[in-house]
Amino acid sequence: KGCRYAVWAELVDKSTKRSVLFVNVHTVSGASKGAIANRLAEMNTLMANIKQTNTKKLPVVFAGDFNSHRNFSPDVVRSVMKQNKLYDSFDLARSLTRQHHNSFNAFTMAPRIGVKWGDHLDHVWVNPWTTRVDRWQNIALLRPNGRHTLPIPSDHDPIMVDLRIG
């Protein structure tokens, strides 16, 4: 019924031997009641599956296209993440770059500029008690005139987040 997916992997730092569980998420898009209900079901299923999978109690980083943002009502993704003590790295970052550029670009040359704070569909969610967020950046390739370079490889601009975990 329109539901999307998530994949996860345990990554191990070669030097410290410490592990982190990384989860890549893509929830269903849309603003209809059905889409919102599907997104809520996806998030609840995701959290239950990650809790069941993460038997080692590793730090977890959730990243991807959540198709929801703080200016979207209701923001069911944020509600589920908050219930699980996870916060948007955008809100936690010590430094922001292109924070007003929406991460969704719709393959347009001109970047979408958000007039409201945090108007992004793409997120990196972390536990602020185990993870420090040094930097959040929209790293779209832009020309000197501020327009996207061609070809535009995706309908979303890449987000880069510098994390210190543990």
For residue 21, the cross-strand partners are 10, 60
Number of Cβ within 10 Å of residue 17's Cβ equals 7
Q: What is the pLDDT of residue 130?
A: 93
pLDDT tens digits in sequence order for the chain, 166 residues long: 556 789 999 999 999 999 999 999 999 998 899 999 999 999 999 999 999 999 999 999 999 999 998 888 899 999 999 999 999 999 999 999 999 998 999 999 999 888 777 778 899 999 999 999 999 999 999 999 999 999 999 999 999 999 999 8
Q: What is the pLDDT of residue 70?
A: 86
Q: What is the pLDDT of residue 88?
A: 96
Query: DSSP letters along 58-77, please?
Result: --EEEEEE-S--TTSSS-HH
Q: What is the pLDDT of residue 114?
A: 81
Q: What is the pLDDT of residue 82?
A: 97
Q: Omega before 74 cis (within 30°)?
A: yes
Q: What is the pLDDT of residue 3?
A: 65
